Amino acid sequence: MAAGSRQAQVGRGPWSRPNGRRSPDMSSTGSRWPPWDRRQESAWVKFLGPFTWHLHEGEDEMFLVVRGSFRMEFRDRSVELREGELIVVPHGTEHRPVAESEVSVLLFEPSSTLNTGNVRNDRTVERPQHI
């Protein structure tokens, strides 16, 4: 991959580092188990069929397939994902998830992320339900 280019990558296995970034410096946290960064949020989502083409200007998204499978489509290619696999979609990358049968996904993204990114339509959720 060329320097400075952003491309979604698939992680295979529980400890993959698909985005190539270094781990944050944890030496100053002092304790081992308490979470140290609350700017990220996880969401459990189920979907079926194609979602809206969209992008997120400033947020990366990580999709972890919990049950089922789906295809992440990009304008120039698509990536098939199965249970236990993950993909990180870099900010500024137009994409849409497509599931031929219902899939359950754990989504990790900043809490300020709008589900439809730069698009507002009937699938936009301004205030997600908290459970």
CA distance 83 to 51: 19
Q: What is the pLDDT of residues 75-128, one digit of tens each?
A: 999 999 999 999 999 999 999 999 999 999 998 877 777 676 777 777 666 666
Q: Is 7 within the bounds of a domain?
A: no
In a domain, 19, yes or no: no
Residue 104 lies in a domain: yes
On whether residue 42 sits in a domain, the answer given is yes
**Residue 32: inside a domain:** no
Q: Residue 84 belongs to what domain range?
A: 37-120
- Determine the straight-line distance between the first and last CA of the chain, rounded to whole angstroms: 40
Instruction: Of 3-12, 38-47, 65-74, give the range with the top mean pLDDT.
Output: 65-74
Instruction: Give the count of domains, the chain.
Output: 1
Domain containing residue 93: CATH number: 2.60.120.10
Q: Cβ–Cβ contacts within 10 Å for residue 27, how many?
A: 6
- The pTM of the full predicted model, rounded to 2 decimals, is 0.66
Domain presence at residue 12: no
Asked if the structure places residue 30 within a domain, the reply is no
Helices and strands per DSSP (H, E), number in the chain:
0, 7
Average model confidence (pLDDT) for the chain?
A: 75
Q: Report CA-CA distances (Å) from 53 to 12, 65, 103, 121, 123.
A: 25, 20, 18, 11, 11
∠ CA(59), CA(106), CA(75), 5° rounding?
Answer: 50
